[in-house]
Structure 1
């Protein structure tokens, strides 16, 4: 399926399956209102899927990405063709270094010292008692001599993210029409997220929030020490509990029953340890779509903070860049409402000779600015490794 992918396609590999969407049957149009683009998104997607079915599409599926900011447009289409197959099986010899082959320049946004100042601003807001948590993010912008090879970047990400969710979404400003097969100035969102926001299959709902993390270590003894430290950390357990409580609260109106473990477990990627809770539920109504559930959850405190509205406003004030699709969600929804939506983290936006990486850290009472900076540095490793750049 990786060999089938070409720039402009939709690609999502999960532990359960691999999906590739090719061509554009229709584009989900922007809503009339300007305040909240997410409010009517499920109904607009449902209408587009019904129209595609009536027009003879054999298997209409809406695929794409939803931004962090509810006032910005989503990037969702119905492809002309969708192929679904087994999970990826990748040969490690297929990895190639991208950035060893040509020069590049890198610019942190903001600079590390300014980022730590932003964390301290967040801590001051928490100290007032109005905000419990805020996620403060930063970016790395790379300019390259040669055009970035998105296909190889995606392959490298998939190789090192076999238990997670590897994705690519076309962000081209002007989508090609059926007559115009090529578009100019291709942009692609690409990443390897460890976190499922929510999935729906029939009456079954599954969510897997992650919050609280530690960087991995190459030393096995030190790596296990960090894992245990995370599992015993009052600060991280509190941060995780805030997210789990919000997920339960958001899903409760849709569910007949819900199973939530009393305490989190540990999951690991090549770069990070995370606290994880697997939440399962049974829907009251079969027609509830995966996208409707995802929007009810978005954004979780894991990527925004809590309370959501106050944390979001603080993010706009502190962060010196537009998150765009970072900390939004990527996924799919079919005509039955089944689908899965992934939290858009460990990701980058690629445009010809530039690539911008994103990473954030959850700030709560007791957080330290230098530790949060180090956490974002560790989270950048997923993309940097795929680019062939060593720490």
Structure 2
């Protein structure tokens, strides 16, 4: 049966007929068909609780006041392993612009650091965008498959954003996030926030040095602590028990070492769904900052509307179980299927180095650049 599901999954990916795919190390979740669309997460939750729909899948925006892109699928399918299809062909791609330019992004970082000396702001995540042009139309499923095949843990996602309406119709969110916002199975809740990072290196000795230095970096440990404290406070009203390690451990991707903290809790009530928890947690300081409202205002004033970058992507079923990932290491593919926008950000704290923060965004962009063989 699992082989049949995997075969059907590959066929549907090739046909680009799936509005939602989330690949994880422990398996793949696929939404097949669209029974209903929701631009409001709360409206979707109400329908799920009423039992009139059996599942919700899709994407939440960075700013929850903006439209979501959620669907009630005709069928929510689970496969025990990530998709294993050979990546389909994608056309040549090249960078067409950085927004903001390097000098402007550095100035924004410097201004944020200066603000921290005389305001309540303790951390803010500032991001930059890169526009990419493909030589001809590209299949969003091909991009997702390429990311999944390249990711050492099989992470990847693709979401049709049409449910958000307006300018989002026909656009797709595609990426490979290593960060779990929240996962719920029965009464058990797990999170694995990532904040604080260091670049990987091809030289094993240098790579180990970077990892060791990250574990003792005051700047990165401070940045990480903001995220863990936020999650602890957000989950406490919902959980009768929470287990948090005293210090973070290392999580690695192809490009980066991350500080990560595995968090586990037990729900007070099974009425609390995975989507409830995602909405309570988002946005964490890993993509926003501390205090949340202050950092969000800074981001809005400096960057404008982020859309679905730094939001969340995931699913919740009729039992309330589900998994939501932080929407990072991603691109938005426009409806013309030739224009892509990639995003990367970094957490700024009082002792951040602007040059290092700029380099961090470049390193994070490599997830997309290398997978899609982007030139420039």
- Common fold by TM > 0.5: yes
Q: How far apart are 1:29 and its partner, in Å?
A: 4.8
Question: Is 1:340 paired with 2:323?
Answer: yes
Match of 2:23 in 1: 13
Task: Report how many residues are paired.
Answer: 362
Q: Give the CA deviation at 1:8.
A: 4.9
Moved more, 273-282 or 310-319: 310-319
The Cα offsets for residues 68-111 of structure 1, whole Å up to 9 and x where unpaired, read as 112201000101122211121636xx24673xx54645210110
Q: Tell me the residue number matched to 1:46.
A: 45
Match of 2:145 in 1: 155
Residue segments in structure 2 that go unaligned for 5+ positions in a row: 1-8
**Residues 19, 34 of structure 2: 8 Å contact kept:** no
Among residues 365, 368, 386, which one is paired with 2:353 in the alignment? 368
The answer to whether structure 1 residue 388 and structure 2 residue 369 are counterparts is no
Cα separation, partners in 2 of 1:102 and 1:17, compared to 1, 3 Å: closer
Note if contact 1:8-1:188 (Cα within 8 Å) is conserved in structure 2: no
What's 2:5 paired with?
none
The answer to whether 1:128 aligns with 2:128 is: no
How far does residue 162 in structure 1 lie from its aligned partner after superposition? 4.0
Unaligned stretches of 5+ residues in structure 1: 31-40, 176-183
Task: Check conservation: 2:200, 2:256, Cα contact below 8 A.
Answer: yes
Kept in 2: contact 1:7–1:150 (CA 8 A): no
Tell me how far apart the structure 2 counterparts of residues 185 and 76 of structure 1 sit (CA, whole Å): 12
SS across alignment from 2:34: coil
Distance in 1, matches of 2:350 and 2:154, equals 30
Query: Offset at 1:48?
Result: 2.1
The alignment's TM-score, normalised by the length of structure 2, stands at: 0.91
- 2:296 and 2:276 map into 1 onto residues whose CA distance is 21
1:272 aligned to 2:272?
Answer: no
Task: Using the TM superposition, give the Cα deviation of residue 136 of structure 1 relative to its aligned residue in structure 2, in angstroms.
Answer: 0.5
**In angstroms, what is the RMSD of aligned CA positions?**
2.0
1:83 aligns with 2:77: yes
> Structure 2 CA distance, aligned partners of 1:137 and 1:310?
16
What corresponds to 2:226 in structure 1? Answer: 242
1:224 aligns to 2:188 (yes or no): no
Flag as ranges the 4+ runs of structure 1 deviating above 6 A: none
C-alpha separation in 2, matches of 1:381 and 1:373 = 13
How far residue 174 of structure 1 moved from its aligned partner, in angstroms, is 8.3
Kindly indicate whether the alpha-carbon contact (under 8 Å) linking 2:62 and 2:310 is maintained by their aligned counterparts in 1.
Answer: yes
Q: Deviation at 1:269?
A: 0.4
Tell me the equivalent position of 1:33.
none
Q: Describe the shift of the 1:344–1:185 C-alpha distance in structure 2 as closer, same or farther (beyond 3 A).
A: closer
Distance 2:107 2:146 in 1: 34
TM-score w.r.t. the length of structure 1 is 0.88
Matched, 1:292 2:300: no
- Whether the 8 Å contact between 2:333 and 2:340 is mirrored in structure 1 is yes
Q: Distance in 1 between matches of 2:306 and 2:218?
A: 29
Give per-residue Cα distances to partners, 1:232-278, cap 9 Å, x unaligned.
10110111111101110110111111110001000100011000000
> Is the contact made by 1:96 and 1:388 (CA closer than 8 Å) also made in structure 2?
no
